Amino acid sequence: MPCYNASAYIAEAIQSVLSQSYKEWELLVVDDGSTDNSAEIVSHFAKADDRIHLIEQPNSGACRARNNGIEQATGEFIKFLDSDDMLEPECLALQIVEIQKLAERQIPFGDYYNVDKEGNIISKYGFDRQKDLQDDSVYFFFSEWRILTSSPLHRTALLREIGGFNEELKRGQESDLHLRLALADVEFVYFPIVTYRYRDHSATNRISENLKVGTRGRRDYYVQRAYICEQLFEKKYDSVPSKYNSYFANTWFSYARDLFDYGNKQKGKEYIEKAYKYGLQTSFQRFYFVFGKMIGYGTLEKIFRLRLRIMHQ
């Protein structure tokens, strides 16, 4: 359980672990340099139950906190739980039974409730894409974001094998983790049980840093993701499979346009060539590529941006 300034909810999260019908667990709460009394709350629980352990670290982000927990865990299996969420009472008992029926590179996952700030159920997420997952698990986790961090029960050895969470990421950590597990031939097996309650709210004190609202913030994130995925696919398959061409072409084309707008012509040309390598996807992209070569991409981008500003006046 990573924790950062979670005093409003962490007692409820810990209580959901204490309420498990399965009792053979240890709870590692990794406090990521909280400035509120979160650590004091955890210490209070730890004094009353020696299965609960507080680990403190300087503020380093959610991924470092989770990796710290992975490094220090002594159990065969790991369940992640954010400090504002709650496990369903039978979650561990049911998933322990499930994982013991599976092969050594299989892990179970389930459904979850979305709840509001007060813990009231808003909706249920029920997984309904078993065929897509079975047909191509790598492509599934590349495109699917709704299997959240606490849905699976993980095997500690497999998490350590792939190096845990990518600590460079500020968002999308679980989708990256699941993709890398799938690339390592780990199979996710769906069992239709509700595993936990995900508190669905926008809060500045969530340990996972919120994605910036602005266009540039979104662009920076997707570019980072494209870099990472490109490297993962090339390592696994030697080259990027053609089914991903559209994603990479659109990402690098958009990035190239931003670079031309910022005046970085050299880098912009590098990335528009990357987009071209994957196959330009629209008539506009093909026009842009050809006409930009004729008059200069920086000039062409200025024309388009000026046109947009005039249209919005």
d(CA 46, CA 41): 9
Residue 210 counted as domain residue: no
Burial of 69 per CB tally in 10 Å (0-12, 13-18, 19+) = buried
Contact criterion met (CB below 8 Å) for 163 and 77 = no
Q: How confident is the model at residue 170 (pLDDT cuts 50, 70, 90)?
A: confident
Q: Which amino acid is at 145?
A: W
Q: Are residues 187 and 297 in the same domain?
A: no
Q: Are residues 177 and 232 in the same domain?
A: no
Q: What is the pTM of this model?
A: 0.89
Give the number of domains in the chain.
2
Mean confidence (pLDDT) of the chain: 93
Residue 206 counted as domain residue: no
- Pick from 140, 165, 199: which residue ends a domain? 199
Q: What is the pLDDT of residues 117-138, one digit of tens each?
A: 999 999 999 999 999 999 999 9
Residue 209 counted as domain residue: no
Residue 268 counted as domain residue: yes
Q: Are residues 195 and 288 in the same domain?
A: no
Residue 292 counted as domain residue: yes
Per-residue pLDDT at 205? 45
Residue 204 counted as domain residue: no
Residue 62 counted as domain residue: yes
What is the domain extent for residue 263? Answer: 215-311
Q: Are residues 174 and 81 in the same domain?
A: yes
